[in-house]
Amino acid sequence: MSAFTTELHGQVAVVTFDLPGEPVNKLTAAVKVEFEALLIRLRDDADTRAVVLVSGKPNTFIAGADIEEFTALTTQAEAERLSFEGQEMVSRVETLPKPVVAAIHGACLGGGLELALACHYRIATDHPKTQLGLPEVQLGLLPGAGGCQRLPRLVGLRAALDMILTGKSERAAKALRLGLVDEVVPRSILLRTAIAAAERLMRNGLPRRPPGGGLPALFLDRTPAGRQLVYRRAKAQVLARTGGHYPAPLAALETVRVGLEHGITAGLAEEHHAFGQLAVGDVSRKLVQVFFATTALKKDDGIEAGSASPRQIRRLAVVGAGFMGAGIAGTAVGNVEVDTRLKDADLARVGKGLGAATAILTNRLERRRITRPEYERLGALLSGSDAYAGFGRADLVIEAVFEELALKRKVLAEVEAATRPGTIYASNTSTIPIHQIAAEAQRPEQVLGMHFFSPVEKMPLLEVIPTSATAPEAIVTAVRFGRRMGKTVIVVGDRPGFWVNRILSPYLNEAGLMVTEGVPIELIDRTMTAWGFPVGPIALLDEVGLDVAHKAAETMHAAYGDRMKTGNALDRMLAAGRLGRKNGRGFYRYRDRHKAGPDNAVYGLLGARQVEDANPDAIERRLVHAMLNEAVAACAESVVRSARDGDIGAIYGIGFPAFRGGPLRVIDDLGASRVASALHELEDQYGERFRPAPALAEMARQGGRYYAT
Ligand code: 3H9
């Protein structure tokens, strides 16, 4: 079946791209062949004087090259050829002797945007689903179909680098401001406007565009010295952001540079060469696996497919208006547009919570993500109370009160009394097992956990935790609701700490122990950020709050015994009134809530003397292996349903370096026996907490792996 259909409107051929049997349009090898043949026909057809390219899919223009084809690439030469052929196809659009107009509605990404860039005119709809971007670096690649060449020429060097090096996409309004599209229209008139534009170009010739980038571009984009400055700054920013672990943005920067300094032919050659190298590299392989795992999770409801249907959530209630509760309320209102009631014990707290929830919307308004009328409309969905007024109408209640079992049980009982029998109750606990919270519940089948991460509006993960009594309908409802909040959702087992905090606990404990041994705080953090974590473990403790971390550590110790025993670092820090960033005193010093260097007074407080010759390799080995070992133990207890869920949970929940693919991929890459023998050595040196989990020893014996490939 054909991917393209053509219909003549006067002398304008409207080409509709609708890849049969696929949810999105993508540029597969077969599509490229068909499209090139179509271009020749259009060129030779005397009745056609202009072309409009439009998509037949509901929410995608073109999602880019077919990422699945990348997984079949085995050699650099093959990958180079794929990019070269993409460049050729796109060039044929640009050099078609008839104007081509791209009529863009929905995602216009990667190769899709590169194709649109080669068209002679671009019109986009003002719909939020319309996003234009070059996300290739997020897959460890660079735009390989001419995007590194055409984008800077169209929008200016700085704006192009901002898009290419981060992979972020832009909505239509911003795209118009950048000069990336020529017009923005409502969806209802997209086709009509595109045909009119094609007729105009047919009559008047191609538009002349001023070079992009505005006034500052006069120096920065259009003089060699200015551009050198931009390249240098961009490189420094990339290195600061990626720690040098991701080769793609640097290769993209070099490709853009070659293209602008030595001409488009040299640029295209550099582009397909670099694409070839990156596509068969380990980082890209890992990031592509992460992409497919994330996509698969979008369809996984955590229950046997079809065994229950999600309930509609028209009203949400959140108990606890602290930082987490307010974050949940603000994100739910902003993303799901659901009527939300925030409750706390007194009106002062409720007011503060409503303020914090509204700040999430204000931030979106300021960043022009929403309009003023949308802001007003969303704000009106938020309300607050110091009683359970209105809970009788809630479909879902999320509890986000202090992490204390007795309090959580009390709130559950109060909510059950104030709600209808069908209301789902979710606890946002970070460590306490849900079955303990639900032990006295009247309707245990409606109770589960929804563990959000802080700050809620930014962190991409949600753990949904059913108990053995939770009804499948409640599970699928919570999963779907979390997804509508914009989260990647994993359904995890009801064990203390669930998945993310379970594997984080021994890692943080070990870091705390190191400080009591006198290992420099900054060295510990620097070692782990160099390994690829976004923040080091000690800085993370300060961020989380030492009181919160201490509470969680106690729960974990009680549940798992000495393996999770904490040193006395947190006790002593708390006794000295140090709560971390929130009160400006933690392992680090803070000035105006900004980190201002490690606090050397901490060593005295912990009775430690700073070690002069601490070895980063040893630090890394201890910390990484503590986490890997716990990941194996938790997997063996079926805390996660698959290695995929475990790795995605670690990447999105704690920022485990994505280029390593997740802790379970790391174990596969190193080999279970190597991990086990490193743990044996650590056990000899530091004690039983490093004893390899029985499941790891078993894997080591059998040569077991988590993934087949
Ligand atoms: C590129 O273009 C390189 C060029 O520079 C070089 C050329 C030479 N390929 O996410 P969804 C599948 S690199 C293959 O659930 P949504 C997806 O796996 C590419 N498959 O929908 C899923 O499959 P299934 C740069 C793709 O509405 C189904 O479509 N482009 C691709 O939530 C539905 O996806 C990107 O990185 C693809 N390109 O979101 C964009 N795209 O149903 C990647 C989607 O079998 N894609 N699929 O599980 C996205 O960001 C989102 O999918 C999109 C839709 C926003 C488009």
Secondary structure of 256-318 as H, E, C letters: HHHHHHHCHHHHHHHHHHHHHHHHCCHHHHHHHHHHHHHHHHCCCCCCCCCCCCCCCCCEEEE
- Ligand 1 atom nearest residue 134's Cα: 25
Determine the Cα–Cα distance for residues 317 and 319; give it in Å rounded to an integer: 7
- Averaged pLDDT, 399-411: 96
- Averaged pLDDT, 299-323: 95
Report residues whose beta carbon is within 6 angstroms of any ligand 1 atom. Answer: 23-24, 26, 59-60, 63-68, 82-83, 86, 107, 109-111, 114, 135-136, 139, 141, 143-145, 147, 295, 298
* 4-280 is classed CATH 2.70.160.11: no
- Tens digit of pLDDT for each residue in 619-642? 999 999 999 999 999 999 999 999
Ligand 1 centroid to residue 396 C-alpha, Å: 32
Ligand 1 centroid to residue 156 C-alpha, Å: 27
pLDDT number for residue 600: 93
- Ligand 1 atom nearest residue 85's Cα: 8
Give, for ligand 1, the residue of 18, 22, 24, 109 to mutate: max count of ligand atoms closer than 8 Å to Cβ.
24
User: In the structure, what pLDDT confidence band is assigned to residue 531 with cuts at 50, 70 and 90?
Assistant: very high
Percent of the chain at pLDDT exceeding 90: 93
User: Mean pLDDT over all residues of the chain?
Assistant: 95
pLDDT > 90? residue 612: no
| 378 Cβ contact list (under 8 Å, min separation 6) | 333, 334, 337, 361, 370
Ligand 1 centroid to residue 526 C-alpha, Å: 35
Among 4-13, 311-320, 338-347, 590-599, the least confident range: 590-599
- Tens digit of pLDDT for each residue in 56-71? 999 999 999 999 999 9
Ligand 1 centroid to residue 99 C-alpha, Å: 28
Give, for ligand 1, the residue of 67, 82, 166, 284 to mutate: max count of ligand atoms closer than 8 Å to Cβ.
67
| Comma-separated ranges of CATH 3.40.50.720 domains in the chain | 315-491
pLDDT number for residue 534: 93
Q: Whose CA is nearest to atom 41 of ligand 1?
A: 63
CB 659 within 8 A of CB 246: yes
pLDDT number for residue 568: 87
Locate 523 and state its tokens. 């060295």
CB atoms within 10 A of CB 108: 32
- Averaged pLDDT, 484-513: 97
Determine the Cα–Cα distance for residues 286 and 660; give it in Å rounded to an integer: 7
Determine the Cα–Cα distance for residues 539 and 522; give it in Å rounded to an integer: 9
Q: In the 8-state DSSP scheme, what is residue 189?
A: G
Taking the mean position of all CA atoms in its chain, how far away is CA 156?
27
Determine the Cα–Cα distance for residues 620 and 660; give it in Å rounded to an integer: 15
Burial class (CB in 10 A: 0-12, 13-18, 19+), 708: exposed
- C-alpha distances in Å from residue 497, one per residue of 3, 492, 519, 552, 627: 49, 10, 27, 8, 13
Ligand 1 centroid to residue 306 C-alpha, Å: 25
Asked whether the CA dihedral 5, 9, 13, 15 is positive or negative, the reply is negative
Percent of the chain at pLDDT exceeding 70: 99
Q: Whose CA is nearest to atom 17 of ligand 1?
A: 295
Q: In the 8-state DSSP scheme, what is residue 585?
A: B
Judged by DSSP in three states, 56 sits in coil
Ligand 1 centroid to residue 483 C-alpha, Å: 17
pLDDT number for residue 212: 67
Q: In this structure, what are the phi and psi dihedrals at residue 134, rounded to the nearest 5 degrees?
A: -120, 85
pLDDT > 90? residue 702: yes
User: In the structure, what pLDDT confidence band is assigned to residue 220 with cuts at 50, 70 and 90?
Assistant: confident
Q: Whose CA is nearest to atom 49 of ligand 1?
A: 63
Locate 153 and state its tokens. 């020429």
Q: Whose CA is nearest to atom 33 of ligand 1?
A: 23
Determine the Cα–Cα distance for residues 587 and 707; give it in Å rounded to an integer: 39
- Ligand 1 atom nearest residue 59's Cα: 27
- Tens digit of pLDDT for each residue in 180-204? 999 999 999 999 999 999 999 999 9
- C-alpha distances in Å from residue 458, one per residue of 49, 324, 461: 48, 12, 9
Q: Whose CA is nearest to atom 56 of ligand 1?
A: 63
Give, for ligand 1, the residue of 82, 295, 298 to mutate: max count of ligand atoms closer than 8 Å to Cβ.
295
H/E element holding 6?
strand 4-9
Q: Write down the H helix ranges in 517-615.
A: 521-531, 537-544, 546-560, 569-575, 601-605
CB 446 within 8 A of CB 475: no
Judged by DSSP in three states, 653 sits in helix
pLDDT number for residue 565: 86
Q: Whose CA is nearest to atom 42 of ligand 1?
A: 23
pLDDT > 80? residue 218: no
Q: In this structure, what are the phi and psi dihedrals at residue 298, rounded to the nearest 5 degrees?
A: -65, -20
Which residues are catalytically annotated? 463
pLDDT > 80? residue 211: no
Ligand 1 centroid to residue 59 C-alpha, Å: 12
**Domain 315-491 belongs to what architecture?**
3-Layer(aba) Sandwich (3.40)
Among 211-225, 228-242, 637-651, the least confident range: 211-225
- Ligand 1 atom nearest residue 138's Cα: 36
- Ligand 1 atom nearest residue 142's Cα: 5
Locate 381 and state its tokens. 């969905």
pLDDT number for residue 305: 87
- Ligand 1 atom nearest residue 24's Cα: 29
Q: Count Cα neighbours of 660 within 13 Å in the Cβ-side half-sphere.
A: 21
| Comma-separated ranges of CATH 1.10.1040.50 domains in the chain | 500-702
User: In the structure, what pLDDT confidence band is assigned to residue 289 with cuts at 50, 70 and 90?
Assistant: very high
- C-alpha distances in Å from residue 47, one per residue of 206, 510, 688, 698: 19, 74, 81, 71
Judged by DSSP in three states, 354 sits in helix
Q: Whose CA is nearest to atom 4 of ligand 1?
A: 111
Asked whether the CA dihedral 617, 620, 622, 624 is positive or negative, the reply is negative
Q: Whose CA is nearest to atom 15 of ligand 1?
A: 295
Ligand 1 centroid to residue 245 C-alpha, Å: 24
- Tens digit of pLDDT for each residue in 115-150? 999 999 999 999 999 999 999 999 999 999 999 999
- Ligand 1 atom nearest residue 66's Cα: 9
H/E element holding 86?
helix 76-94
| Comma-separated ranges of CATH 3.90.226.10 domains in the chain | 4-280
Among 28-42, 209-223, 518-532, 671-685, the least confident range: 209-223
Q: Whose CA is nearest to atom 40 of ligand 1?
A: 63
User: In the structure, what pLDDT confidence band is assigned to residue 208 with cuts at 50, 70 and 90?
Assistant: confident
- Ligand 1 atom nearest residue 114's Cα: 5
Ligand 1 centroid to residue 64 C-alpha, Å: 7
Strand residue runs (E) in 356-497:
382-385, 396-399, 424-427, 447-452, 461-466, 488-491
Q: Whose CA is nearest to atom 46 of ligand 1?
A: 63
For the question of whether the overall pTM of this predicted structure is more than 0.75, the answer is: yes
**Domain 500-702 belongs to what architecture?**
Orthogonal Bundle (1.10)
- Averaged pLDDT, 305-323: 95
pLDDT number for residue 213: 66
Ligand 1 centroid to residue 447 C-alpha, Å: 35
